[in-house]
Structure 1
Amino acid sequence: MSEFDELQAVIRRHANERQGEERACEALINALYHALRAASGPGLPLNNVTLDFTVDPTNCLRPIPTGGFHAAWLRLGLCEVLVRVRRVEGAFQGEYGDGGSFRLETGGRDELIVLARRILRDVADTYAGAGREQVRRLN
């Protein structure tokens, strides 16, 4: 068997695992989208939240190997936040925005609401802090 054939066999052999992982990560991102819409509390949906799945800019291989990140842009009104998620030892590990990170064991509704609120706070802090940093650099 040539090295090329061996590569193809490995990719085929792990296809189901990769696809399952992709479905789980995309389901979590979709659930996070719904959590962001509900982050203001019951009966107060955030209507300016949209979801756009995208190719993770750091992935250098396609199909994405097992353990690779799956990504989406979450539009939060006037800004967009890149969210990246992967499975690590059965848990969801992710990154968002400008250095935010998270780890969710189950991806349950309560965990996602807490994460959604943290993302909103962190993004607001990033924009609030960015303005102050510019002023300091100018003075």
Structure 2
Amino acid sequence: MLKHIPSIVGPDLLKILSEMGHGDEIAIVDGNYPAASRAQRLVRMDGHGVCEVLKAVLTLFPLDHMNENAILMEVPKNNFVETPIWKEFDALCREGDEAYKNYSLIEAGEFYNRTEKCYAVIATSEKALYANIILRKGIVR
């Protein structure tokens, strides 16, 4: 056992987070996201929600202070889905890292393409729609 590591962060995720360098990105995605077909490295966290995983990751993961550091999948304009989970994401990022300013929104197709370039994807069992976030790693000061 190690101290100060959230209990839901297993050895595979811990290894990936420590391997990542400045500017590398990691996606945390909901249960509907096609993570297995989009990920270079896949970490399954079945039974957990995105907010729970995001909070745990942010205890270990510095956000980039020079570039956008949190990116969400934009809801298409003709889709009238509510996204209250985004407020939770925003609160967790503000609480978790001083480098965080505001999240950026990108169109779904662009989000899918960007996820394929992420260092890793964490697949959750989150049921909320559009509950996907990409984090860009910063440096430890």
Shorter-chain TM band: under 0.3
Q: Which structure has the larger Rg?
A: 1
Q: As a proportion of its length, which structure holds more strand?
A: 1
Structure (1/2) with the larger helix percentage? 1
TM-score (norm 2): 0.24
Superposition TM-score, scaled by structure 1 size? 0.24
Flag the structure with more relative contact order, 1 or 2, with Cα contacts below 8 A and sequence separation at least 6.
Answer: 2
